[in-house]
Chain A
Amino acid sequence: MSKNIITPTKEFEDVLTPGYKDLVANGPYNRSAPGTVDDLGSFREITEPHPHCAGCGVSLGIRLGLASLPSPENTIIIGTPGCAYFALTQSALCYSCTAFGNQNSVATGLKRMLKIRHPGKVKDVLVMVGDGGVADIGLDYTLHSWFRGENIATVMLDNEVYGNTGGQESGMTVEGKVLNMAPTGKKFPKIPVFEMAKVAGCAYAVRTTVASPKKFGTAVRRAVLIAREVGPTYVQVYTPCPTNLKFSPGKTLEAAKDVEKTYYQYEEYMTEEASAYLSRIGELKEAK
């Protein structure tokens, strides 16, 4: 979008409410340098209490992800019902909520339309949804968008449960986990979406947790950049849910750190083409 769209007309500048004045002055689109997790920004949407439960890992994941976008004013976030939907109120960016699960199909259409409508301009489409949206209800749409090689980045905020509907198991819940709505425990293993992404055509895939904010921030940034030029990308971040996984809201990062030692170890996958692209644009020097 043009920055004019976030420039108030001078006739109504004086009646803009403080929140909007702050958004115009300090919002995500007027930064001179690209966003990083070192600087979340000071605008209301980022700093005010989030609409999630206390200690919500998804909320933290949304903030870190949004702060890492390379070009927020040219980004459309695609959401789907669930806890991750609240990226709408936390983002102050273009946001489209789809029917449950078809987010990657909508993202496909938007990306193709934006390429036609704005030839030669960068327009990023970022899918930011929960594990139910990617791994269960939207798995087929997600996989097919990867098979087709669509230029979209997909971020799964994996809280391993359907959090806002009472705690049903999702495909990403670990085997044996007992939840409010899964009293006898889950009967099959966590769906290996990260591994599936690698074989389904993603040029870049990362598995990390919110306990490693810099790694996650770098992953989101690279995923969006690579999706522009090379192909589909996928970031899977563990965002633990205190309400349904039954731990104290103050121990979210602890819970995330714990799984980093076992099944959520950091892993970054990149095709040669994606690596060459990042080198070319000077983004690979941050790699560890």
Chain B
Amino acid sequence: MISEKYRILPGPEGFVPVTAALMGVVLPDEGGAFVEGGIIPENDALGMIAEKLASAKRPAVCPGPLLMWQWNGGAGPKAAAVRELAAACGAKIYPMPDYRAKSPRINPEIEISVNHPNITIQHNGIDVCVFVGVHSHYANFALRMIRAGTGCYTICLSDYAASDEAMISLRDVDAAKIGAITAKVKSISKGGV
């Protein structure tokens, strides 16, 4: 049954959660952001992301291929901004350089795989994770898997239209928006919420 009240909350929701889209969740237009299944102004969401990251016990940043490789001129500045954000909130970085199945398996201490991201989340006790630079179709897949099997709070900083499987997701994210989150994290760390 499609419900307008369906919320995207930390799991574990179960083995195979229904996709957010199937539950009637829609993505925001420009200027909006996606928070737990609803849409709010982007500036408010920036603050919420900063609060989540600043208050996390074990935050993690998971950069995808769009940030790991110099595929275009924008990758470098954005990567630098993400690195600064990770440093500001004390997040460990778990790279996701591509989406191949790893043979025989990944090392969850140092990397995350789109095919079973819950292993890294659970192994390291990550309570807040940020997906950034991950192609949308893979991000949705992995974020839903995290929602299914863990209690991790997921944040997705999307290049394009945001991700409806993350608990908070921004759209049209560039280095400036990431810098704004970093500034808010630093502000919270100094003076409290």
Contact = CB atoms under 8 A, between A and B. Distances in A.
Interface of A: 2, 4-12, 15-17, 20, 48-49, 51, 88-89, 92
B75 interface: yes
B100 interface: yes
Contact of B79 (A7, A9, A16, A92): A9
Contacts, number: 59
B19 interface: no
B68 A16 contact: yes
Contact of B71 (A4, A11, A51): A4
A9 B76 contact: yes
B151 interface: no
A9 B97 CA distance: 11
A2 to B, nearest CB: 8
- Secondary structure of the B side of the interface? loop
Interface residues of B, number: 24
A12 B103 contact: no
What 4 A-B pairs come out closest when comparing CB atoms? A11-B79, A9-B79, A4-B70, A89-B103
15 contacts: A4-B69, A4-B71, A5-B70, A8-B69, A8-B97, A9-B69, A9-B70, A10-B76, A12-B63, A15-B93, A15-B95, A16-B95, A17-B107, A17-B110, A89-B103
Contacts of A20: 95, 97
Contacts of A10: 76
A12 B100 contact: no
B95 A12 contact: yes
Contacts of B80: 11
A9 B68 contact: yes
A7 to B, nearest CB: 5
Given A16-B95, A88-B100, A89-B103, A8 B68 contact: yes
Given A11-B80, A11-B83, A12-B83, A5 B71 contact: yes
